[in-house]
Amino acid sequence: MIVSRARLTTSDIPEATAEDMVALWSSRHLYRLAIRPVENVPLELTSDLMVFPDFTCALGDNSPIAARVSPEIGHEDDVYLSCVLTGGGEVSGRNWEYENKPGDGLFHWSDEGFHVHQPQRSRVINMRLSIDAIRRRVDLGNGPPMRRVTAGHPAMALLRTYVATLQAADLSHVTPTFAETTSSHLHDLAGLALGANRDGAHNAATSGLPAVRLALAKELVARHLDNPRLNDDFLSRHMGLSRSYIRKLFANDGHAVAAYIRRERLFKARRFLSAPAAMRIKILDIASMHGFDDVSTFNRAFRRMFDMSPSEARDQVKGED
């Protein structure tokens, strides 16, 4: 398997062993820690994990906690990123202390441990990245092995959105190319957030950032194919980018926005027509379900794409039964 998923939830674990199980889970996938609840609130934690060949990402919720991340946090070839989405608290090390505000990213790379205190329920992204891949993009230098990036940084905003998109996606049949590209996108964004060197910034600006934005735009299209108002203006408003920039992203990928949306609608409709449930639904209603205002337009577009009408596609499935 190229990409794997897993979930930990303390609701499935006896309270007496929850802290040990969370520590074991974290040390296996992210970093070594000791964790305990605070404010007399029992430990409640849910974490959804994605494991790619080059990075690991966990997105989850937890009750108020205190944690000591071990000096032996993991492997010397890793960079760690923690981003609180809601809640927050303080993170401190030997000679530093940061307030962990929602949206901020905290990068860490060394064998120096640190403490985390989250006195309120929080939602957090934790990520492990390749330090070799980061060093190709960033001059980490000899400064402190910890860097805070504020929530308003454009790369952090994109990184948060990209992780959420990956968590919501079906990753059961991804290809090696997809896994490699996804890893490159995330390392590009992390590099920009940390302050990319000239080569890293150039590569991210010319390939990494546009690729991430295009991937997010396509994911947005996939989630709203049944909306007749889905167009470049819709994508512009939801992504905070200009319509001309949206058009350029798709043009560089070989598509006009409207043509891409229509193609995806038609492929989705074709898949639906092969399902048993479609046999009892009128073609008019199927057209409407897939974002077409009228059935004539749907029929013409479907025939141009598949060299058959929707009815013939459905009859073809019947004939195979």
What are the residue ranges spanned by the domains of the chain? 4-223, 226-321
Whether the predicted pLDDT of 321 surpasses 80? no
Q: Which comes out higher in pLDDT, residue 1 or 88?
A: 88
* pLDDT at 10 exceeding the cut of 60: yes
pLDDT band at 205; cut points 50, 70, 90: low
- The CA distance from 224 to 236, in Å, is 14
Q: In the CATH scheme, what architecture does the domain 4-223 have?
A: Sandwich (2.60)
pLDDT tens digits for range 87-102 = 989 998 888 888 888 9
Give 106 or 146, the one with higher predicted confidence.
Answer: 106
Close Cβ partners of 12 (under 8 Å, ≥ 6 residues apart): none
Tell me the average pLDDT across 75-79: 71
Contact 61, 123 (CB under 8 A): yes
**pLDDT at residue 261 greater than cutoff 90:** yes
Is the pLDDT reported for residue 124 higher than 90?
yes
Work out the pLDDT band at 175, boundaries 50, 70, 90. confident
3-state SS track over 99-168 = EECCCCEEEECCCCCEEEEECCCEEEEEEEEEHHHHHCCECCCCCCCEEEECCCCHHHHHHHHHHHHHHH
- The set of long-range contacts for 20-26, using a CB threshold of 8 Å and a minimum separation of 24, is none
* Beta pairing partners, 47: 8, 60
The percent of residues above 90 in pLDDT, for the chain, comes to: 32
Structure tokens at 218: 């396509």
**What pLDDT is attached to residue 319?**
54
Span 72-86, average pLDDT: 79
In this predicted structure, the answer to whether residue 157 has a pLDDT above a threshold of 90 is: no
> 3-state SS of 3-65?
CEEEEEEHHHCCHHHHHHHHHHHHHHHCCCEEEEECCCCCCCEEEEEEECCCCEEEEEEECCE
Band the pLDDT of 233: cuts 50, 70, 90.
very high
Cα gap 200→135, rounded to integer Å: 9
226-321 has which fold?
Arc Repressor Mutant, subunit A (1.10.10)
Using alpha carbons only, give the angle 153, 234, 243 rounded to the nearest 5 degrees.
Answer: 65
C-alpha 21/C-alpha 33 separation (Å) is 11
Check whether 21 has a pLDDT greater than 80.
yes
Question: How many Å apart are CA 221 and CA 239, to the nearest integer?
Answer: 11
Q: How far is CA 125 from CA 61, 198, 310, 319, in A?
A: 9, 28, 44, 49
Look at the pTM and tell me if it is higher than 0.75: no
> What DSSP state is assigned to residue 87?
-
Read off the pLDDT of each residue in 170-193 and give the average, rounded to a whole number: 81
Q: Of 152, 195, 23, 159, whose CA–CA distance to 81 is shortest?
A: 159
Sheet with 33-37, strands from edge to edge, namely: 33-37, 65-69, 114-118, 89-92, 97-100
Task: Determine if residue 302 is left, alpha or beta; phi over 0 gives left, psi from -120 to 50 gives alpha, anything else beta.
Answer: alpha
